[in-house]
Amino acid sequence: MSVLVVAEHDNTNLKPATLNAVTAAAKLGDVAVLVAGSNCHGVAEAAAKIGGVAKVLLADDPAYEHRLAENLAALVAKLAPGFTHVLATATSAGKNVMPRVAALLDVAQISDISAVEGADTFVRPIYAGNALATVQSSDPIKVITVRATGFDPAPAEGGSAAIETVDPAGDSGLSQFVGQALSKSERPELTSARVIISGGRGMQSGENFHLLEKVADKLGAAVGASRAAVDAGFVPNDYQVGQTGKIVAPELYIAVGISGAIQHLAGMKDSKVIVAINKDEDAPILQVADYSLVADLFQAVPELAAELEK
């Protein structure tokens, strides 16, 4: 069996979540990685070095510069008949492209898998991660999005796959790139951060998030938030962790002033070590935390920052 992984990148850097999709793909067969972009040869070279990748397909064309889903889906659908499975990560980008691919191929999409049971059988979380569904597909080509936290990343180095140029599928003319407003941060991205410190409604204001930023700076951490903190306007919505936010699984997740609603837990409960700082000893987050500090965050967090200064 041969498996195509659609790489996620910005024409310069390969997004780390692609490595997790490669691990899922390697459970199914020989892995080819598609790098579609513009002036993205460097990304193809990075993809060729991933351990376990047999081949890299490079589609370098202005039509893919901004990875418009309509253009990319047409290319993936054109290449798909050479594969038994087509995978992408269940990120916003992957979730934009893969349903279109599935529709073009007239197959069902298998969404957000967290385990591979066999060539046609996959596990995926449902009900905000409270149940796991095992799904089986009889479609000739399986179009799949992968929950990155369900799979370890494949080694970024060690492979030496050949890079093969493929013909672009052209501009579909269905959409046009107008512009983008990207948030800039010196901190790591939430979905790939090794450490995350998140604040909830207990932070009381956006200004108070600077308490978390101080700790984040010391730990090289990303800053996240609960939906309540986002809805209250404390921080932008790309900070949100949870069922309707980002799914993360860092080595260390520090939840500050977050109660631990199931929708929040759905986004972070696979973190390796969970620390909770909450003044309520009955807060549900304490049930999932490995280490809990029952304290007022306005005292505990500055103390933590001061200790890290030492």
Ligand X SMILES: Cc1cc2nc3c(=O)[nH]c(=O)nc-3n(C[C@H](O)[C@H](O)[C@H](O)COP(=O)(O)OP(=O)(O)OC[C@H]3O[C@@H](n4cnc5c(N)ncnc54)[C@H](O)[C@@H]3O)c2cc1C
Which residues lie near ligand X (CB under 6 A)? 200-202, 226-229, 240-245, 257-259, 261, 263-264, 267, 277-280, 283, 296-298
Crossing angle of the two packed helices 92-105 and 69-79, in degrees rounded to 10 = 50
Q: How far is the CB of 92 from ligand X (least distance, A)?
A: 14
DSSP helix/strand/coil, 36: strand
d(C-alpha 196, C-alpha 240), whole Å: 12
Q: Which is nearer to ligand X, 128 or 219 (CB)?
A: 128
Candidates 304, 227, 291; CA nearest to 259 is 227
Q: Which is nearer to ligand X, 15 or 264 (CB)?
A: 264
Q: How far is the CB of 291 from ligand X (least distance, A)?
A: 15
Q: Which is nearer to ligand X, 215 or 283 (CB)?
A: 283
Q: Which is nearer to ligand X, 20 or 208 (CB)?
A: 208
What residue is closest to ligand X based on CB?
242
Q: Which is nearer to ligand X, 159 or 257 (CB)?
A: 257
Q: Which is nearer to ligand X, 187 or 201 (CB)?
A: 201
Q: How far is the CB of 238 from ligand X (least distance, A)?
A: 12
d(C-alpha 58, C-alpha 45), whole Å: 10
Q: How far is the CB of 298 from ligand X (least distance, A)?
A: 5
Q: How far is the CB of 270 from ligand X (least distance, A)?
A: 14
Compute the Cα dihedral for 177, 183, 188, 193 and give only its sign. negative
d(C-alpha 5, C-alpha 26), whole Å: 10
Provide the CB-side half-sphere exposure for 195 (13 A, CA): 13
- The encoded tokens of residue 29 equal 């067969």
d(C-alpha 271, C-alpha 191), whole Å: 11
CB within 8 Å of 187: residues ≥ 6 apart: 193, 216, 220, 221, 222, 223
Task: Name the strand (E) or helix (H) holding 55.
Answer: strand 53-60
Q: How far is the CB of 139 from ligand X (least distance, A)?
A: 30
